[in-house]
Structure 1
Amino acid sequence: MPNSTGPLVVALLYDGLCTFEFGIVAEIFGLTRPEMGKNWYRFASCAVDDGPLRAHGGFLLMPDHGAELIGDADIIVVPGWRGVDAAVPQRLIDLLRDAHARGARLASICSGAFVLAATGLLDGATVATHWRYADALKARYTDILVDSASLYRSHGRISTSAGSAAGIDLLIEIVRQDFGTDAANSVARRLVMPAHRTGGQAQFLERPVPVAHQSAIAPLLDKIRTELQSAWTLRRMANECNMSLRTFVRRFTEATGVPPGEWIVGER
């Protein structure tokens, strides 16, 4: 763990680990960021299984800590679980319940929602997961509401996200809540990605956007990002794309998943 004094983020390791989703937790919270000062996050990972832990991609993990580290964590992140039909160990359920009871925050990425749902802490809440697993989550945990469209959802001190890239959005949102917009933007820039997507943004677009429309909107997005403090009215943006107002709003929303005004607010 780095020599900082900030919140301790602990990512769970287990046999059958979703490598990408663990990787983004380590990247965002575990990377050295001296520009953030001494209050930046501390990061560690812990094994919740005994024996060799195999990750997707054909390699073995050698954790530095056991599950007891959950007892010290301020934020606990559950990457995608090893299978939607895989049982969640009772010891892990108990540790997560105890952590939440003492004030820790819990977060899941993709099918990690199955682990948090198993604790009973999400009963009555609306949760996000990958759209492919939404029906299975609904069927198994009938006391929760499953949002198969949103990127991420929060319920008190528990947050859940859709799959893979949506996990990045959730983790950057946690950074924004803890350290402000400038810090979140800095992390996003280092990841070479947009600064912020709101949790309610759709996981995917129902219809593919025609290439011609993408080619018209993409240069505008790049220009807005370089001139975020300018007055970007609908008329100005439509003129940039040589479209009528009505056509522009429709094409923009098709391309980004959100209306122009909401997209600009998110970028700012």
Structure 2
Amino acid sequence: MEFSDNILNALPSVISIITAEDFIYIRGETSKQKSLRMVIDTMGEASAKAQDLKSIITTTAKFKESLHTLYVMKDQENKAIVGILKVGIKKLFIMDRIGRQHEIEPLCVLDFYVHESCQRSGYGKQLFEYMLTNEQVDNPCKLAFDRPSNKFRSFLKKYYNLENFIPQPNNFVVFDEYGLQDKPTNSRILNTPPNRRHSTPNEKTQTGIYHRHTRSLTPHHHYYPSSLINPSTFSTTTSSSSSSPPSGNDFTSVSSINHSAPPKEIYVQRKRELISQKEHGKQSLYGNNPIAWE
């Protein structure tokens, strides 16, 4: 892609390395930073268009807030930018062929684009090899690739014999040669079931009652409306000297409710009673006053 001499002069060599430090402003944006911004935004947009991406993944705004490294290759004689290659370390969760999930932090190729007019001329191989040397990567199989295009996958197969991989939900490609199933010590296996204590329906403790399907303790000071309890059992929760029927605003402790259902079912029951009240006269659950339904 053609650029003016002023923009190309901002790149000191044939393959230049750009990081976020190159965009630190002291007294505003310099002319060199403006040139770099134009190169990154233009090439990033062209890369997204060539790969048919929904959004541009390489922009100056995103690049300045990251720890990524961008390699830019130019052709000074033809006044053109040949291509870009962006890499960075990311934490990934990858499944191997055995079915185990690994947490790894490899160096990832996040964007790789060579302009259409410069493809099939050896520029891509030269740019990629320069990155491997600078990042001290002996074999590209130790890299992860973010949504590589068909052309990029053909490139990896042609020059590095990398072809086989397991499709991942995060769309990253980690080839079998990475060795997850052969060398599990280079990553942390995450799908080992944790040693959790499951409580029984009515396992009593000194401070409360465990409910099914939960590990949280329901203390005695949690209260629910007394209308959820059978009125025939109310005498067991009130004083024997009281002969008057319970009022509408009485409350009783959850510890006196003789059931093993989790708290969620109590709220569901209350919600159903409120809906029933709404359908039959729109009366309040706690008295005879109408509810102001919205």
TM-score, reference length from structure 2: 0.25
Structure with more relative contact order (C-alpha pairs < 8 Å, separation 6 or more): 1
Higher-Rg member (1/2): 2
Report the structure, 1 or 2, having the larger helix content. 1
